[in-house]
A and B are shown apart, each in its own frame.
Chain A
Amino acid sequence: MSESVLAPVQATFRAVAETVVPEAASLRPEAWRELEAVVESALASRPETMRRQFVLFLRLIEYLPLVRHFRRFSHLSADRRTTVLHGLESSRHLLMRRGFWGVRTLVFMGYYTRDDVQGALGYRAHPNGWSARRTTGEMRAAAAEPFGEELRDA
């Protein structure tokens, strides 16, 4: 079993995740574990240097607010956290923007690939495609619907 990358920065990661996707705040402990497992597995397939940069960046996020807000990131209010992350997202320094982009991408990966989340969004793609959605009658009606041709030649 490989060592957890997230464990030493878990509180920061969760605070960032809840800021990036506010709905994550209502995830049950089991769902958090699953989300983190997805992130761990994505990180495991990346080079060691990238894993180290990820941890370093989360530490930076944790301590950066001490300068302006006198509190660590995980102890800030939701609004303040958003301000801090907006600062990173639009930073003048590419390194900061790209670091935040990477963390945000991993949060989205952990959250939006969940079946329950995809279902709640109304995402319904199914291998059976149209036949999982339309009855034969609906298919016939769709075939008869006028569509853009008259507009296309306008």
Chain B
Amino acid sequence: MLTREYDIVIIGSGAGGGTVAQELAPMVAQGVRILVLEQGARLEEHEYTGRELDMSAALYEDGGGFLTADGTMTLAFGRAYGGSTVVYTGTTLIAPDRVIREWCVPGLDHADIERRSRKFMAQNDVHFLPRVLLNDNNKLFVTGCARLGARAEQFPLNLRGCKGSSLCNLGCPNAAKMGTHRVQLPNAERQGVEVVTRAEALRVEERLVVARVHAARPGEKGGDSTWPPGDYHISARMVIACGGSIGTSALLLRSDATKSIRRLGERFTCHPAHILVAEHEREITNDVGHPKSYYLDRAEHEGYVLETCMYFPFITAKNLTGFGADHSTLMRAFPRLQMILVLACDKAVPGNRITVDATGKAVVHYRFTPAVIRSLVSATRMSARIFFAAGARCVHAPSADPPLIERERAYRLDDLIVEEHFLPGRISISAAHLMGGCAMGPEGSGVTDSRGRVYGVPWLRVADSSLFPDSVEVNPYQTVMALADRVAEGIRDDWTK
């Protein structure tokens, strides 16, 4: 066993870990030794090829195919230098005031989240895309909404030099997306924070991280780790868990020192989502241009959000219900396809939680509540209306049987798209907004306080999406950064005491 000694060890380098690393980096000048451990690899620029199979294998946990315990939902999360920010789409929203109030976390208020979010929005060049860069897929969404009297809103995006390759979720080949791998981690490294990739934290002990550095496999993307492969005992005065909702929860659940923390793994939410597809008569620009520029927010009253989206052939094929000739016909219409992502704003409920199996691997238990099913079904109906209003000739609705609805039957949407056809295991459901597991809250009901201090474990902090006590009902990364910034501030204050 090799040994190393640091003052602060940050586990994970995504939205949370990258932010904490940057915000603590000035402490290096005062002699504080800071290390980031990231289990994923650091890719070279030329390795971002946009190829579906290679990039999914290189950048996602389980190649993007991580399934919930009963196999009915796919959870997508990144595993790389930069975490999920390498594969996110870059839509940047501030958590709504209403949600932060409902979270009821003592000491946390909306003004604080907003102020910190704005700081990172400025740092990450968040802006609206000029309309010349909008593709038909996005424009048709706006048109469809407008014809129904609904107002689609434009997403602020954190891009610098976007070429419109539409490959965001496979890692940007143009270094245009301002994830933590582009901004916060390089900032931290310039100030002396050490980042070690391919370094998996196996468990935490009191003021100690046990980690394994893996060798790169032949042909695998990403350079070797800067540390030789092997097992390490890394001592630290403070450990900050930033492995993401699932990564952090699993790490703490498999560590003897932390596994008995009350409420650990609970309050998991994820904005379960469907990809909906419609076919137009003519070709549209869909696989060129930024994929996600508009959304329709129906979270507060109807429990869903619709977003524009565009996926790659395999992901599209997987998300269409059915198989055989009808499925192939729709796939062959690819250049005429319009897509909408529908997301349900799920609520934390008992039973939806993260545990670990005998080997310490994360297991996510998730059941679709009646409210989530209702939201997804009514979001699907609304999307179908938008598609038809935008001129689509047919719509593929997973919760219809058969799923393909021709324009002539559009007047019957309420009868065709019904909860009865929402059959988990038959239809594809996925989620990329993973939240909770180490929820903030008052002592007794939360795992941490509002600064990520884990109750009863003075050497441990959490600074990632696992802190969310419930779903945030908007795209979450900006809120993760704002919370991580609070945690870092708390550490700086405590350090001098």
Q: How many residues of A contact B (CB 8 A)?
A: 49
Binding site for B on A (CB under 8 A): 19-23, 38, 42, 45-46, 82, 85, 89-90, 94, 97-98, 101-102, 104-105, 108-109, 111-113, 117-118, 120-133, 139, 142-143, 147-148, 151-152, 154
Which single residue of chain B is at the shortest CB-CB distance from A53? B71
B63→A123 contact, CB < 8 A = no
| Chain B 416-435 per-residue mask, 1 if CB under 8 angstroms from chain A, else 0 | 00000001111010000000
Q: Which residues of B contact A117 (CB under 8 A)?
A: 313
Is B149 interfacial (CB-CB < 8 Å)?
yes
A22→B328 contact, CB < 8 A = yes
Q: Given A97-B423, A122-B334, are A127 and B50 neighbors across the interface (CB < 8 Å)? A: yes
9-residue interface stretch from B132-140, B348-356, B376-384, B453-461:
B132-140
Complex: A143 Cα to B401 Cα, angstroms: 41
Complex: A83 Cα to B195 Cα, angstroms: 54
Most chain B beta carbons < 10 A, residue from A104, A105, A148, A152: A148
Is B469 interfacial (CB-CB < 8 Å)?
no
Complex: A42 Cα to B52 Cα, angstroms: 13
| Chain B 317-335 per-residue mask, 1 if CB under 8 angstroms from chain A, else 0 | 1100011110110011011
Complex: A46 Cα to B65 Cα, angstroms: 10
Q: Which residues of B contact A151 (CB under 8 A)?
A: 142-143, 146-147
Q: Which residues of B contact A42 (CB under 8 A)?
A: 63, 65
Q: Which residues of A contact B152 (CB under 8 A)?
A: 152
> In the assembled complex, how far is the CB of residue B85 from the closest CB belonging to chain A, in whole angstroms?
19
9-residue interface stretch from B18-26, B111-119, B163-171, B477-485:
B163-171
Is B43 interfacial (CB-CB < 8 Å)?
no
Most chain B beta carbons < 10 A, residue from A42, A143, A152: A152
Which single residue of chain A is at the shortest CB-CB distance from B283? A122
3 smallest A-B Cβ distances: which pairs? A97-B425, A129-B164, A151-B146
B331→A112 contact, CB < 8 A = yes
B53→A125 contact, CB < 8 A = no
Q: Of residues 158 to 199 in B, which have CB atoms within 8 Å of A's CB atoms? A: 162-167, 173-174
B163→A127 contact, CB < 8 A = yes
Q: Which residues of A contact B173 (CB under 8 A)?
A: 127
Pick the contact of B62: A20, A45, A97, A124 (CB < 8 A): A45
> In the assembled complex, how far is the CB of residue A9 from the closest CB belonging to chain B, in whole angstroms?
18
Is B255 interfacial (CB-CB < 8 Å)?
no
Complex: A147 Cα to B48 Cα, angstroms: 33
Pick the contact of B71: A19, A45, A98 (CB < 8 A): A98
Is B289 interfacial (CB-CB < 8 Å)?
yes
A130→B289 contact, CB < 8 A = yes
Complex: A108 Cα to B324 Cα, angstroms: 11
Q: Given A104-B323, A112-B331, A122-B335, are A129 and B53 neighbors across the interface (CB < 8 Å)? A: no
Q: Which residues of B contact A113 (CB under 8 A)?
A: 51-53, 313-314
B131→A143 contact, CB < 8 A = yes
Is B70 interfacial (CB-CB < 8 Å)?
yes
Main SS of chain B's interface residues?
loop
Q: Which residues of B contact A89 (CB under 8 A)?
A: 322-323, 426
Pick the contact of A45: B63, B324, B423, B428 (CB < 8 A): B63
Which single residue of chain A is at the shortest CB-CB distance from B401? A90
Q: How many residues of B contact A (CB 8 A)?
A: 61
Complex: A127 Cα to B172 Cα, angstroms: 8
A128→B163 contact, CB < 8 A = yes
Pick the contact of A98: B65, B70, B331, B335 (CB < 8 A): B70
Q: Given A127-B163, A143-B132, are A94 and B70 neighbors across the interface (CB < 8 Å)? A: yes
Q: Which residues of B contact A132 (CB under 8 A)?
A: 288
| Complex A-B: 11 CB contacts under 8 Å | A20-B324, A21-B327, A23-B328, A101-B71, A109-B314, A123-B335, A126-B50, A127-B167, A147-B139, A148-B142, A154-B147
> In the assembled complex, how far is the CB of residue B90 from the closest CB belonging to chain A, in whole angstroms?
14
B424→A94 contact, CB < 8 A = yes
Q: Which residues of B contact A118 (CB under 8 A)?
A: 52, 313
> In the assembled complex, how far is the CB of residue B173 from the closest CB belonging to chain A, in whole angstroms?
4
Told that A38-B53, A126-B165 touch, could you supply 13 new A-B pairs with CB distance under 8 A?
Answer: A19-B323, A85-B324, A89-B322, A90-B401, A98-B72, A120-B332, A123-B335, A126-B288, A127-B49, A127-B163, A130-B163, A148-B139, A148-B143
Q: Which residues of B contact A126 (CB under 8 A)?
A: 50, 165, 288
Is B346 interfacial (CB-CB < 8 Å)?
no
A123→B312 contact, CB < 8 A = yes
Pick the contact of B163: A101, A108, A131, A142 (CB < 8 A): A131
Q: Given A105-B318, A147-B139, A148-B146, are A125 and B426 neighbors across the interface (CB < 8 Å)? A: no
Complex: A42 Cα to B142 Cα, angstroms: 38
Complex: A22 Cα to B314 Cα, angstroms: 16
Pick the contact of A152: B50, B142, B426 (CB < 8 A): B142
Q: Given A112-B314, A151-B147, A152-B146, are A129 and B132 neighbors across the interface (CB < 8 Å)? A: no
> In the assembled complex, how far is the CB of residue A82 from the closest CB belonging to chain B, in whole angstroms?
6
A129→B63 contact, CB < 8 A = no
> In the assembled complex, how far is the CB of residue B47 from the closest CB belonging to chain A, in whole angstroms?
12
Q: Which residues of A contact B71 (CB under 8 A)?
A: 94, 98, 101-102
> In the assembled complex, how far is the CB of residue B451 from the closest CB belonging to chain A, in whole angstroms?
38
Complex: A133 Cα to B283 Cα, angstroms: 14
Q: Which residues of A contact B425 (CB under 8 A)?
A: 94, 97-98, 101
Q: Which residues of B contact A124 (CB under 8 A)?
A: 287-288, 335
Which single residue of chain A is at the shortest CB-CB distance from B54? A113
> In the assembled complex, how far is the CB of residue B131 from the closest CB belonging to chain A, in whole angstroms?
6
Q: Which residues of B contact A105 (CB under 8 A)?
A: 65, 318
A82→B324 contact, CB < 8 A = yes
Most chain A beta carbons < 10 A, residue from B63, B72, B162, B287: B287
